[in-house]
Structure 1
Amino acid sequence: MSMQNTARRTFSSLSNSNYRKYFFGQTTSLVGTWMQSTAQSWLVLVLTHSATDIGWVVALQTLPVLLLGPYGGVIADRVDKRKFMIVLQIFMGLQAATLAVLSLTHHASFVAVCILAVILGLNNSFENPSRQAFIMEMVGPEDLRNAVGLNSTMNNVARAVGPAVAGILIASVGEGWCFAINALSFVAVVGSLMSMDESQLVRTERTVRAKGQLLEGFRYVRRSPQLALPLLMMALVGTLAYEFQVTLPVMAERVFHGNSAIYGYMTAAMGIGAILGGLVTAARGKTGLRALINAALVFGVTIAFAAFAPLLALDLAALALVGYGSISFLSMANSTLQLRTDPQMRGRVMALWAVAFMGSTPIGGPLIGWMTSMFGARIGLAIGAGSCIAAAAMGTIGLRRVQRRRALLGATN
C-alpha cells in the first residue's frame, strides 16, 4: 500500500487529463529539442573547431531572452496562453526544419547557425514565460509542485534519450537528421495543446494592457526577498554553471579523447541522474529559501567532482549526480517562485526566471567558452561549481537578513 501511495503521490498531477496530454506531447517534443541541441553544438565544433564559437552560438540563442524576456512575461499575463503557445511551437518547428534542410544539403555554415539561433531565441523569449505560467492553469496550486517536478523529469528523460540518440545519428548519418526529427516532434506538443478541454483549465484573469506593467514586475520582485533571492541565486548559477553545452563537448573530445557518442553518453548520464532527481522532487519536493540554499550547495559539490574525475567512468557517475543536483535546484526555485507569486504577476515573474536561467547565457556562454579554450574543460566546469557555492552563501546571507528583519518587526509589535 505504501508503494502505491508513493506512486500516486509522485504522479498525482497526471490524473488531470489536460496535463496528461501536455506531458506526453511535450516529452516527445523535448526529445527532439535535446537532439537538436546536441547536434548543433557538435556541428559548430565541426565547422569551426572552437569551443568559444559554441559559446557564441549558445549566447546568441539566449540573448533575446535576456533582452526581451521581461516583455515576454508582460505579454504572457495579457493573452490566452494556450493559443499563444500553439503559434510559437509551430514557429519553433519551422526553425528546426530550416536547419535540417541546410545541414542535409551541406549548406550549413557558422553564420547560418548563428542566425537561426537568434530566431529560436526570439521565440523562446515569449514562449518560456507563457509555458511556465500555463502549468498553474492546467493543474491548479494544489498540484503545482508535483507538476513542476514531473516537468523536470520529463525534460531530463528527454535529456537522457535525446543526446544518446543524437550521438548515434551524428556518427552514422549526420547532424541533419537530428534537426529533421526535432521539426517533426513539434507535431506532438501542438496536437496536445489543440486537443485540451478548455473548460477544465484554471484560467488566470488576463492583465489589461496599461502603461508601466514591465517596471511593475521588477518592483513587485524587489519588494519580496522570497522572490528576489531565488532569482539572484538563479542568475549567478545560470550564468556560470549551466553552460554544459559548452564544456561537455570539449571534455569529451580533448579530455577523454572521444567522439560525438562519448559526448552523448555524458549528457545522457546527466539526464539519468536528473530523472531520479525529478521523481524524488515530485514526490517529496520542498520549497523555500533554506531548501534552495542546500540544493545549490549540493549542486556545486557534484559539479566539482565531475570537473576533476580522472576517468571517464567516474566522470559519467559524477555527471549523474550533477543531473540530480541540477534538477533539485531548478525545481525548488521554480516552485518557490510560482507558489509565492500573485496570479496576475506570474507571467512577469516567470519571465524574470527565464532571464536568470536562460538569459544569463549570453554572458556566461562566451565567458565559459573562452575559459575552456584557454585553461581546459575541467576549469570551465570548476568555475560553475564555484558559482553554485557562492549562490548558496549569498542565499544564506540574504535569509539571515530576512530573519533578522522579521525578528525586529516582531519585537516592535
Structure 2
Amino acid sequence: MSPDTPPPPSALAPFRYPAFRAIWIANLASNMGSMIQSVAAAWLMTDLTNSHLLIALVQASATIPILLLAVFAGAIADNFDRRRVMLAAQTGMLIVSAALTLATWLDAITPLSLLFFTLAVGCGTALNGPAWQASVRLQVGPRDLPQAIALNTIAYNLARSVGPALGGLLISIVGTAAAFGLNAISYILLIVVLLRWRPETAPPRRTSMLTAIATGIRFCAHSDPVRRVLIRGFAFGFGAAGFQALLPSLVRDRLHGTEITYGLCLAAFGAGSIVGALCVGAARHRWGSDRVVTAVSLIFAAAMLPVALTTSLAWTVAAAFVAGGAWVSMLTTLNVAMQLRSPEEILGRCLSIYQAVTFGAMALGAYTLGLIADLSSLPAALFISTGWLVLTAILLRFVAPMPRRDEGRLLP
C-alpha cells in the first residue's frame, strides 16, 4: 500500500447516519425472520418428501425469481421511487408469509404448494433487491459506501447466525407454522421504518420498460470491468450453491440429525459470514479484489471436502463456518465492484443484472447438483461442486480478472 494512500474508513462509520442506522436495525429483524422461515421451509420439505431434488429446489425456488425478474425489477427501481418499490415488495412478502403460515397451520401444505410459496417470496425478494441495494447511496456518503454494503451483509449474516438455531428450536417446540408466522410479523418493523424515511431525491426520469432494460444490458455488456465481475459472480454462484442447497439432505441422510442440527450448521455458516464481512474490506484494500476473489473461491471449495468425505458433525460445522466467511467475502467484493462502476441513473438496472447472473447461477447450480445427488450420491455432487470452483478460480484469474482499483470506477 502506498504511503499516500489514505487508510480505509472505519467499518462502523456508516452508523453515524441516522437513516442507515434505523434501516439497518429493522433489516436485521426482517432478515432474522426470513432465516427462520428458510430453515422451516427446508426442513418441512424433508418431512414431505425423500427427493434430494425437491429438497434442493427449496433453495433454488428462492433464487429462480431473481434470475427471471431481477432485470425488470432493476428497471422499476430506476423508473420509480425506490422507497415505494421496497414498501410494495415488503408488503407483498408479508402477505405471502401470512398465507404460508395459514396453509401450514391447517395442514394443507404439499411439496408443490411449499415450492409455490417460496417462489412467491422469492419474487418479492427479486423486486426488493435492486431498489434496496441502490438506496444505500441515499443513506451514506460515497466514501462510506463499501463499509455500508459490508454492514448490510453483516446484518444478513448476523441473522443467519442466530436465525437458523432459533428456527430449529422453534420448529422442534411449536412447529413450522409458528416459524412462518414469526417471519410474517418481522416484516412489519421494516415497513414502518421505510414509511418514516423520507430521503431527498430527484424525481426519476421514466422511460419505457424495455428501453430501460436495454440500456442497462447494453452498459453491462459494453463495460469490460463490469462484464468480468458478472463472469466471476456466475462461476462462483453455480459452484457454491451446492453447499446450502444440499445441506438439509446432508444433515438428514449422512449426519442423521434433527432440525436443531440443521440450524446449528446454518448458524456456523452465518457466524463465519460475520467474520468474513468484518475482514474482507481490509483484505481487499491490502491485496486487491482479484486476489481476494480467487482465494475465497479456493477456500470455499476446500471447505466442502470434509463435508463430502466424513459424517462428522464437528467437521461439518467447522466447514460451514469457513464456507460462510468465503461466501460473504465473495459476494461483498462483487457487490462493491458493481456499485463503484455503475452510473447513478441506471444503478438499479446494473445491480439487478448482477443479481440475475449471480443468483440465477445459484438456482441453476442448486438444481443441477440436486439432480446429480439423486442420480449418483451426495458426496459426488459435492465433489463436482468443489472441482468446478477450483477450476474456475484458477482459469478466470487469467481470462476474467477482477477490475483494478481505478479501472472503470465512477465513484470517488
Taking the aligned partners of 2:121 and 2:403, their CA distance within structure 1 comes to 39
What amino acid is aligned across from residue 352 of structure 1 in structure 2?
I
Q: Which residue of 2 aligns with 1:265?
A: 264
Taking the aligned partners of 1:401 and 1:42, their CA distance within structure 2 comes to 37
Q: 1:294 to 1:177 in 2, by over 3 A?
A: same
Structure 1: state its 5+ residue gaps. Answer: 1-5, 407-413
Task: Single out whichever of 135-144 and 32-41 deviates more from structure 2.
Answer: 135-144
Equivalences for 1:170-189 in 2 at 5 Å? Answer: 170-189=171-190
8 Å CA contact 2:60, 2:245 repeated in 1: no
Task: Single out whichever of 390-399 and 93-102 deviates more from structure 2.
Answer: 390-399
8 Å CA contact 2:290, 2:403 repeated in 1: no
The reply to whether residue 33 of structure 1 matches residue 39 of structure 2 is no
8 Å CA contact 2:240, 2:300 repeated in 1: no
Give the Å deviation of 1:38: 0.8
Q: When the two structures are superposed, what TM-score results if normalisation uses the length of structure 1? A: 0.89
Taking the aligned partners of 2:197 and 2:371, their CA distance within structure 1 comes to 45
Q: Helix, strand or coil for the counterpart of 2:10?
A: helix
8 Å CA contact 1:74, 1:213 repeated in 2: yes
Q: 1:51 to 1:18 in 2, by over 3 A?
A: same
Taking the aligned partners of 1:268 and 1:38, their CA distance within structure 2 comes to 11
Q: Which residue of 1 aligns with 2:204?
A: 206
Taking the aligned partners of 2:308 and 2:155, their CA distance within structure 1 comes to 26
Q: Which residue of 1 aligns with 2:348?
A: 347
Q: Which residue of 2 aligns with 1:275?
A: 274
The reply to whether residue 148 of structure 1 matches residue 149 of structure 2 is yes
Q: When the two structures are superposed, what TM-score results if normalisation uses the length of structure 2? A: 0.89
Q: 1:204 to 1:395 in 2, by over 3 A?
A: farther
Q: Helix, strand or coil for the counterpart of 1:238?
A: helix
Taking the aligned partners of 1:151 and 1:307, their CA distance within structure 2 comes to 31
The reply to whether residue 124 of structure 1 matches residue 122 of structure 2 is no
Task: Report Cα offsets for 1:182-218 as digits up to 9, x if no partner.
Answer: 000001111221222424xxx4762431452212222
Q: 1:399 to 1:370 in 2, by over 3 A?
A: closer
8 Å CA contact 1:371, 1:380 repeated in 2: yes
8 Å CA contact 1:141, 1:339 repeated in 2: no
Taking the aligned partners of 1:68 and 1:402, their CA distance within structure 2 comes to 27
Give the Å deviation of 1:348: 1.0
Task: Report Cα offsets for 1:109-146 as digits up to 9, x if no partner.
Answer: 12221222232222222111111111122113211110
Taking the aligned partners of 1:283 and 1:178, their CA distance within structure 2 comes to 37
Give the Å deviation of 1:157: 0.8
Give the Å deviation of 1:332: 0.5
The reply to whether residue 110 of structure 1 matches residue 111 of structure 2 is yes
Aligned residues: 396
Q: Which residue of 1 aligns with 2:87?
A: 86
Give the Å deviation of 1:296: 2.2
Task: Report Cα offsets for 1:64-97 as digits up to 9, x if no partner.
Answer: 2222211111111111111210121011011111
Taking the aligned partners of 1:206 and 1:150, their CA distance within structure 2 comes to 27
Give the Å deviation of 1:285: 4.6
Q: Helix, strand or coil for the counterpart of 1:216?
A: helix
Q: Helix, strand or coil for the counterpart of 2:241?
A: coil
What amino acid is aligned across from residue 76 of structure 2 in structure 1?
I
Q: CA RMSD of the aligned region, Å? A: 2.4
Task: Report Cα offsets for 1:219-254 as digits up to 9, x if no partner.
Answer: 211222211112112112212312434211111111
Q: Which residue of 2 aligns with 1:410?
A: none
Task: Report Cα offsets for 1:264-323 as digits up to 9, x if no partner.
Answer: 111111111111111223565546434323332332223334433452112211211111
Give the Å deviation of 1:401: 11
The reply to whether residue 100 of structure 1 matches residue 101 of structure 2 is yes
Taking the aligned partners of 1:312 and 1:173, their CA distance within structure 2 comes to 25
Give the Å deviation of 1:261: 1.0
Taking the aligned partners of 1:204 and 1:394, their CA distance within structure 2 comes to 43
Taking the aligned partners of 2:116 and 2:332, their CA distance within structure 1 comes to 31
The reply to whether residue 10 of structure 1 matches residue 26 of structure 2 is no
